Structure formats: C-alpha cells, structure tokens
Amino acid sequence: MKTTRKYYTTEYKKKIVAEFEAGTLPAEKLAEREGIDRAQIYKWKTQLETRARGERVEMLEAAGHNPDDIRRIMELEDELAAAKEKIADQALAIDLLKKIHPSYPSERRSSGYSELKTQVTAPFKRRLK
C-alpha cells in the first residue's frame, strides 16, 4: 500500500524550530506532540539555516557587493558567531565554577575600596573625637 507524503509549510517549520530553539520542550517531546520524527526537527533547523544564509548572500549581491566581498563577509559572520558561542560557553563555565567553589581566590579578594576608605578617613575621624 502506498502512503502519501506529508508536506509542511515553511511557516510551520519555522514555528516548530523556533519552539525547539527556545527550549520550551525537548525535541523528543515536541516531535511526539506534533506527530513527527525527532530527526525531522533537526533537518528543518538545518534547512532553515541554509535558506537564511542563501537569502543573506542574495541580499549582499543585490546591494552590489562582489563575490569576494560576499565570501569574506560570510566568513567573518561565521567567525563572529563561533566567537560569541565560545564566550557564552566560557561565561557559563565560569559561573558554574564560582557556584561550585565559592572560596575561589578571586571571590575572596576585595577590591580594596573599603580598606582604602578606612585609611583615608581614619585621620579625619580622630580629629572629630
């Protein structure tokens, strides 16, 4: 028996991928709720990213950039995205380490402001007495 293939609109795919990326539900639960395979969500995510990248190239071409400039812009955008992801991961790791080990030296050390304030104001406090 031949089964008919289901077709989903781009808007539907975007909605599902956006919900997945928002983290409201794991892919497995989202796929179960929508009656699709979990792998389909990842495929749609890749498709939408590829499509968005293509649209970005077309926009740059329409703006009059030459192919070498477009290639360089895309490389820099990829590099920026990778750097942002790395920074976010490092910030998360730092926060986690601070929670795990609150007596870490940087947490114990004060800025020195309160000690400096005490030293500077001490002579004036003695005169007021």
pLDDT tens per residue across span 50-67: 999 999 999 989 999 998
Q: Which residue has the tokens 């942002």?
A: 84
Structure pTM?
0.59
Domain boundary assignment for the chain: 1-64, 72-129
Given the candidates 1.10.10, 1.10.150, 1.10.490, 3.20.20, the CATH classification of the domain at 1-64 is: 1.10.10
pLDDT at 128 over 60: no
- What's the pLDDT tens digit per position in 65-119? 998 999 999 999 999 999 999 999 999 998 888 888 766 555 555 566 667 777 7
CA gap 21, 13 in Å, rounded: 12
